[in-house]
């Protein structure tokens, strides 16, 4: 079993225009283990993606206080690629496009980066694995032969993120709005992919705006984030409650002084 | 005081010409060129100063013995040369029967004097263009003639392997003449590689391509001259009516090189795509001028240059698109982009458009930038280490030219060359 702990995490971004740091996360605490699925919900602009990027190690996000521990060891000093090789994975809200590099080639490089130089994955093993994962996601060879995300539709990109997840088999996967832009069939397919990973060696942190995804990937815990903090945690029914009552209701229940983006 | 070129080299050039059994007309071309070289100046390149490279000081023209290298191309139609020696050559019977000629330049002078006198440095590049083209004619010590007679379409590619040998003290003065007559089709690929070590040599390479009316010529080149070789590389072509001449050049040399590429679009409705990828490493300097001139009406000239600069090296791309008066309905476009991977690298991308006609379309894009951070982050977030990620992003950046090369195995060897040079440059 592995654990991922976020302790009193404060994260700032630097404003491009005036160069001043702006605090986005203001003390996030969260602990999860493999074999658990956690969901994070919260209004736009509260820092959900920021949390995911800070865990992955995106250098645009500066940790000013607190810690992130994987199996008890701080990973704050580690560069992105080392965090990934230790078992972290982030399915991004906006994946980059890379022309000239095929999906297949990229996934092989990713898998091989976790293996010794003299023990790279045999081509046949790789192809077999790829085919079985493509089947789970109703994907074709055609997409895997294409250049990485180049010209992919929004939904195709999301599906491709999950294909990578299944190929790489990380310990912890953070899925940032993996459901946005998916039609209902694709949503089921993607959920099937994530569920196929569930087990003793896998945990996931799912960022979403819609309770619907959580019908397909049933979480163990649901957290609500507002203004850079987790303000409430509970079981799957917390998501249903939010869907019915919205964030304003919860905020008022908790007597929080937070302005929601869409409030007039 | 330095002796005149003619006084200093006349005897060497004459005796070399005799040793090759050259016809009188070519011996005369040599001596005339030698004389003219004295007065001509070095070609000028915007923002590139290469005077100190001494490309205008000839070294020895004749080699002692050449070594054997195992570089024979794996192709049906090929010519393989080491230094000034032709090691082997082959052409499918069917092509020979149709009158296709693939031979070394000295045999061509003897066996096809009419074709040679008609086309050699008369239509595309002239001995009087500049000092270095004059020296190319005067000191010529290797080369190839490829002729495709009217109406012949060659489906398999023709491959040339030219080895420049640094285990001996000898300049590599090389000339390739390709004539694709009317209604022909040909795909040609040349490899220019250095072998051996021990000496520092100069290379002066001129390639002329004549794409006559309605012909289609695809020219690819993979250049890998070593850091001990200082080079002038001139590859230019002309087009007849509705001809198409495409260039895909992988500029992967390790030494100092200036390149002069491009097409004169003479015939109406002719079209050229000139694509160049370059990587510079170490402390080398590579400068490339790619120039396309639209003379004919409704001609299309596109230039695409992508380069990557590592360590303390310098890469300059000059792109010149020129539409002359009367070339109505023509199109000139160019894109030059360089990526700098180190703070000590120097790079330039200078687009120049000269438009003397109103009814045309033209455009340019140029940039000097760094590796895309979002792409790097994405790749690294999957566990790929920084250097590998960098090479993948760069490969993507260069892919627009790589994908242009018709043969799969040639694309693969260019990809390998890129990988090798990048790994070397990342140290
Ligand atoms: N790289 C950045 N530079 C500047 N500001 C940023 C950056 N990333 C995030 N922010 C700001 O931080 C705040 C939180 O953004 P974040 O993307 O984490 O929100 P989110 O909760 O994921 O919202 P959404 O639900 O809309 O995806 C926003 O105000 C955003 O503008
Ligand atoms: Mg977000």
Cα dist from A106 to B89, B370, B379, whole Å? 40, 21, 8
- Residue A72: predicted pLDDT: 96
Mean pLDDT along residues A207-218: 93
pLDDT tens string B138-183: 999 999 999 999 999 999 999 999 999 999 999 999 999 999 999 9
Query: How many CB atoms are closer than 10 A to CB A77?
Result: 7
Q: Which residues contact B63 (CB under 8 A, 6 or more apart)?
A: B83, B84, B141, B165, B168, B170
> Do the domain assignments include residue A79?
yes
CB A14 within 8 A of CB A21: yes
Query: DSSP 3-state assignment of B201?
Result: strand
For the Cβ of A49 lying below 6 angstroms from any atom of ligand 1, the answer is yes
Question: Structure tokens of B263?
Answer: 């097409």
Contacts of B277 in chain A (CB under 8 A): none
Q: Which residues contact B388 (CB under 8 A, 6 or more apart)?
A: A109, A113, B379
For the Cβ of A60 lying below 6 angstroms from any atom of ligand 1, the answer is yes
Residue identifier of the C-alpha nearest atom 29 of ligand 1: A45
User: Distance between the two ends of chain B, CA-based, in angstroms?
Assistant: 45
Q: Which residue has the higher pLDDT, B60 or A129?
A: A129
Domain that holds residue A190: 3-94+170-254
Taking 60 as the threshold, does the pLDDT of residue B2 lie above it? Answer: no
> Do the domain assignments include residue A137?
no
- Residue B64: predicted pLDDT: 67
Name the average pLDDT for chain B.
Answer: 94
Q: Distance (Å, rounded) from C-alpha A72 to C-alpha A82?
A: 16
| Of residues B374, B381, B396, nearest to A101 (C-beta) | B396
At B3, the pLDDT band (50, 70, 90 cuts) reads low
Residue A202 CA, ligand 2 centroid: distance in Å: 23
| Of residues A58, A98, A114, nearest to B393 (C-beta) | A98
Cα dist from A248 to A224, A256, A261, B28, whole Å? 12, 10, 11, 94
> Do the domain assignments include residue A231?
yes
Mean pLDDT along residues A83-89: 98
Question: Structure tokens of B318?
Answer: 């000059």
Could you give phi then psi for residue A52, rounded to 5 degrees? -65, -40
> Do the domain assignments include residue A164?
no
Q: How far is A35 from chain B (nearest CA, A)?
A: 21
Residues paired with residue A70 on neighbouring β-strands, in sequence order: A4, A73
> Do the domain assignments include residue A127?
no
Question: Structure tokens of A155?
Answer: 């939904």
pLDDT tens string A231-260: 999 999 998 888 888 888 888 888 888 777
Residue A93 CA, ligand 2 centroid: distance in Å: 7
| Residue A81 touches partner B, C-beta closer than 8 Å | yes
Instruction: Indicate the helix (H) or strand (E) that contains A194.
Output: helix A184-197
Residue identifier of the C-alpha nearest atom 2 of ligand 1: A13
At A262, the pLDDT band (50, 70, 90 cuts) reads low
Mean pLDDT along residues A171-196: 94
Residue identifier of the C-alpha nearest atom 16 of ligand 1: A47
Query: DSSP 3-state assignment of B68?
Result: coil
Name the average pLDDT for chain A.
Answer: 93
Interchain contact, B389 vs A164, CB within 8 Å: no
Cα dist from A131 to A104, A105, A128, A139, whole Å? 11, 14, 5, 9
- Whichever domain contains A37, its CATH number is 3.40.50.300
> Do the domain assignments include residue A149?
no
Structure ipTM? 0.94
Q: Distance (Å, rounded) from C-alpha B208 to C-alpha A158?
A: 50
Helix and strand numbers, DSSP H then E, in chain A: 9, 12
Q: How far is B392 from chain A (nearest CA, A)?
A: 7
Taking 90 as the threshold, does the pLDDT of residue B404 lie above it? Answer: no
Query: How many CB atoms are closer than 10 A to CB A135?
Result: 10
Mean pLDDT along residues A97-110: 92
Taking 90 as the threshold, does the pLDDT of residue A111 lie above it? Answer: yes
The proportion of chain B whose per-residue pLDDT surpasses 90, expressed as a percent, equals: 85
Query: DSSP 3-state assignment of B99?
Result: coil
Interchain contact, A147 vs B395, CB within 8 Å: no
Q: Distance (Å, rounded) from C-alpha B389 to C-alpha B377?
A: 9
Taking 70 as the threshold, does the pLDDT of residue A207 lie above it? Answer: yes
Question: Structure tokens of B77?
Answer: 């139609």
Nearest to A202 by CA among A102, A88, A124, A120: A88
Interchain contact, A96 vs B372, CB within 8 Å: yes
Q: Distance (Å, rounded) from C-alpha A53 to C-alpha B283?
A: 38
| Of residues A92, A101, A168, nearest to B392 (C-beta) | A101
pLDDT tens string B356-367: 999 999 999 999
Q: Distance (Å, rounded) from C-alpha B104 to C-alpha A97?
A: 47
Taking 80 as the threshold, does the pLDDT of residue A129 lie above it? Answer: yes
- Residue A208: predicted pLDDT: 94
At B1, the pLDDT band (50, 70, 90 cuts) reads very low
Q: Distance (Å, rounded) from C-alpha A260 to C-alpha A57?
A: 27
CA dihedral A189, A195, A197, A203 (to 10 degrees): 130
Question: Structure tokens of B207?
Answer: 């390639």
CB B234 within 8 A of CB B262: no
CB A1 within 8 A of CB A202: no
- Residue A246: predicted pLDDT: 84
Strands A229-234 and A221-226: antiparallel
Domain boundaries, chain B: 5-267
Task: Note which residues in 103-132 of chain A have CB less than 8 A from chain B.
Answer: 105-106, 109-110, 113-114
> Do the domain assignments include residue A107?
no
Ion ligand 2 residues within 5 Å by Cβ: A 49
Contacts of B384 in chain A (CB under 8 A): 81, 84, 109-110, 113
pLDDT tens string A22-36: 999 999 999 999 999
> Do the domain assignments include residue A165?
no
Mean pLDDT along residues B313-322: 95
For the Cβ of A12 lying below 6 angstroms from any atom of ligand 1, the answer is no
- Residue B408: predicted pLDDT: 84
Residue A28 CA, ligand 1 centroid: distance in Å: 15
Instruction: Indicate the helix (H) or strand (E) that contains B116.
Output: helix B113-119
Taking 80 as the threshold, does the pLDDT of residue B196 lie above it? Answer: yes
Q: Distance (Å, rounded) from C-alpha A54 to C-alpha A26?
A: 13
Number of domains forming the structure of chain A: 1
Query: How many CB atoms are closer than 10 A to CB B238?
Result: 23
Cα dist from A100 to B128, B252, B286, whole Å? 42, 18, 24
Nearest to B424 by CA among B345, B346, B310, B276: B310
Contacting A with CB below 8 Å, chain B residues are 372, 374-375, 377-386, 388-389, 392-393, 395-400, 402-403
Residue identifier of the C-alpha nearest atom 6 of ligand 1: A13
Q: Distance (Å, rounded) from C-alpha B11 to C-alpha B18?
A: 11
Q: Which residue has the higher pLDDT, A14 or B264?
A: B264
């Amino acid at each position: 079993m592995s654990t991922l702990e976020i302790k009193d995490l404060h994260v700032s971004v630097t404003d491009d225009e005036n160069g001043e740091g702006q605090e986005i996360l203001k003390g996030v605490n969260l602990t999860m283990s493999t074999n658990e699925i956690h969901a994070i919900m919260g209004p736009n602009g509260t820092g959900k993606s920021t949390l995911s990027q800070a865990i992955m190690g995106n250098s645009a996000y500066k940790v000013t206080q607190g810690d992130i521990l994987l199996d008890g060891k701080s990973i704050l000093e580690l560069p992105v690629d080392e965090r990934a090789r230790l078992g972290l994975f982030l399915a991004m809200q906006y994946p980059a496009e890379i022309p000239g590099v095929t999906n297949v080639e990229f996934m092989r490089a990713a898998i091989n980066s976790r293996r010794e130089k003299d023990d790279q994955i045999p081509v046949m093993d790789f192809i077999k694995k790829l085919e079985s994962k493509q089947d789970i996601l109703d994907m074709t060879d055609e997409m895997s032969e294409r250049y990485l995300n180049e010209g992919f539709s929004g939904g195709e990109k999301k599906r491709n993120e999950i294909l990578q997840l299944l190929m790489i088999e990380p310990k912890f996967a953070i899925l940032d709005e993996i459901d946005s832009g998916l039609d209902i069939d694709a949503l089921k397919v993607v959920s099937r992919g994530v569920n196929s990973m569930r087990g003793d060696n896998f945990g996931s942190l799912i960022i979403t705006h819609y309770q619907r995804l959580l019908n397909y990937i049933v979480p163990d815990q649901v957290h609500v984030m507002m203004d850079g903090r987790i303000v409430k945690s509970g079981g799957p029914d917390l998501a249903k409650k939010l869907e019915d009552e919205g964030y304003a209701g919860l905020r008022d229940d908790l007597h929080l002084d937070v302005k929601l983006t869409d409030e007039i | 005081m330095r002796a005149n070129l003619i006084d200093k080299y006349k005897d060497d050039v004459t005796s070399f010409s005799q040793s090759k059994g050259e016809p009188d007309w070519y011996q005369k071309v040599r001596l005339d060129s030698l004389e003219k070289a004295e007065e001509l100046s070095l070609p000028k390149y915007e923002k590139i100063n290469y005077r100190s490279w001494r490309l205008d000081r000839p070294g020895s023209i004749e080699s002692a013995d050449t070594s054997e290298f195992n570089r024979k191309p794996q192709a049906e139609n090929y010519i393989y040369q080491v230094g000034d020696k032709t090691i082997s050559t082959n052409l499918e019977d069917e092509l020979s029967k149709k009158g296709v000629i693939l031979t070394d330049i000295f045999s061509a002078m003897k066996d096809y004097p009419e074709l040679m006198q008609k086309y050699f440095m008369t239509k595309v590049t002239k001995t009087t263009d500049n000092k270095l083209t004059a020296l190319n004619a005067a000191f010529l010590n290797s080369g190839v003639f490829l002729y495709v007679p009217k109406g012949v379409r060659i489906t398999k590619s023709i491959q040339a392997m030219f080895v420049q040998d640094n285990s001996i003290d000898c300049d590599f003065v090389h000339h390739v003449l390709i004539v694709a007559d009317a209604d022909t089709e040909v795909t040609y690929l040349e490899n220019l590689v250095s072998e051996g070590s021990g000496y520092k040599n100069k290379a002066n390479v001129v390639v002329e391509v004549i794409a006559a009316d309605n012909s289609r010529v695809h020219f690819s080149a993979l250049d890998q001259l070593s850091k001990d070789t200082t080079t002038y590389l001139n590859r230019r072509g002309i087009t007849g009516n509705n001809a198409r001449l495409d260039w895909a050049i992988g500029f992967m040399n390790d030494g100092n090189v200036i390149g002069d590429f491009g097409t004169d679009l003479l015939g109406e409705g002719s079209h050229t795509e000139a694509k160049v990828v370059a990587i510079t490493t170490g402390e080398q300097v590579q400068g490339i001028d790619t120039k396309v001139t639209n003379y004919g009406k409704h001609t299309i000239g596109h230039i695409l240059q992508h380069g990557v600069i590592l360590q303390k090296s310098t890469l300059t791309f000059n792109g010149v698109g020129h539409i002359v008066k009367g070339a109505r309905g023509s199109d000139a476009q160019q894109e030059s982009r360089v990526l700098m991977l180190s703070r000590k690298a120097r790079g330039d991308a200078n687009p120049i458009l000269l438009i003397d006609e109103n009814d045309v379309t033209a455009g340019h894009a140029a940039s000097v930038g760094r590796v895309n951070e979002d792409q790097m982050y994405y790749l690294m977030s999957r566990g790929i280490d920084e250097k590998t990620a960098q090479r993948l992003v760069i490969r993507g950046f260069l892919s627009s030219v790589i994908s242009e090369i018709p043969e799969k195995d040639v694309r693969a060897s260019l990809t390998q060359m890129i990988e090798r040079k990048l790994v070397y440059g990342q140290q």
